[in-house]
Amino acid sequence: MNFAVGHSPVEAVKHLFALLEAREINYVLVGGIALLYYVEGRNTQDLDLVLAVKDLDKLAEVEIIERDVYFARGEFEGVRVDFLLTNNPLFRRVQEEYTTRVQFLGQEVSLGTVEGLLLLKMYALPSLYRQGDFGRVSLYENDIAALVYKYEPDTEGLLEVVGEYVGEGDRASLRDIVAEIRDRVRRFKKGRGG
């Protein structure tokens, strides 16, 4: 297989998926691009993948720019790739339990389910609040609202799951945040006559 540099971002993403499949790497597409599969209107330029450290080490073609115990950021043919590493127990659980196979860009890929994407967004929110990253907080809350609006998932059950991986204070904050999002979705549906 040829994974030549210099293609469009779409071609680079296709090449990366082909590389992952060829090397039999267990991955899950999550983040903004995954969200596009479920809802319209999300604008994103990077790719987010859940995978194991041992599998990340098999991807010499990805230039790793940053890396810590749970995350890595790299570049592949001009596309930024963020890796959520399965050293994190929640990321591993999403990979094991909240994944489906779908057709995406003309090939079959492993994609996080609606519930998997929601778990990751909920898990990240308390940290983003602590960092004062209002831009990303707003984006993540809107992503959650869009998924809740369209799919009506069991948010109480998801809060229970994510609650296993965050501290007590974060659990309380998440309950309040998700309750506000559900109220917003309810008001929107009521306003639209739904």
Domain boundaries, the chain: 9-112, 116-191
Strands 99-104 and 79-85: unpaired
Q: Tell me what pLDDT residue 2 has.
A: 34
Answer for the pair 98, 112: CB distance below 8 angstroms, yes or no.
yes
Rounded Cα–Cα distance for residues 53 and 48 (Å): 14
Strands 99-104 and 107-112: antiparallel
Rounded Cα–Cα distance for residues 169 and 173 (Å): 6
Output the CATH code of domain 9-112. 3.30.460.40
Q: Tell me what pLDDT residue 3 has.
A: 35
CA 44 → CA 24, 32, 119, distances in Å? Answer: 26, 6, 19
Q: Tell me what pLDDT residue 45 has.
A: 72
pLDDT averaged per 10 residues, the chain (length 194)? 52 93 96 89 82 96 97 96 98 98 92 98 95 93 95 97 96 96 92 71
Q: What is the pTM of this model?
A: 0.91
Q: Cα angle at 115 between 111 and 120, to 5 degrees?
A: 80
For tokens 């602590």, name the residue: 130
Rounded Cα–Cα distance for residues 190 and 155 (Å): 19
CA 112 → CA 9, 32, 60, 81, 123, distances in Å? Answer: 21, 11, 24, 16, 15
CA 184 → CA 3, 6, 27, 133, distances in Å? Answer: 45, 44, 33, 21
Answer for the pair 48, 82: CB distance below 8 angstroms, yes or no.
yes
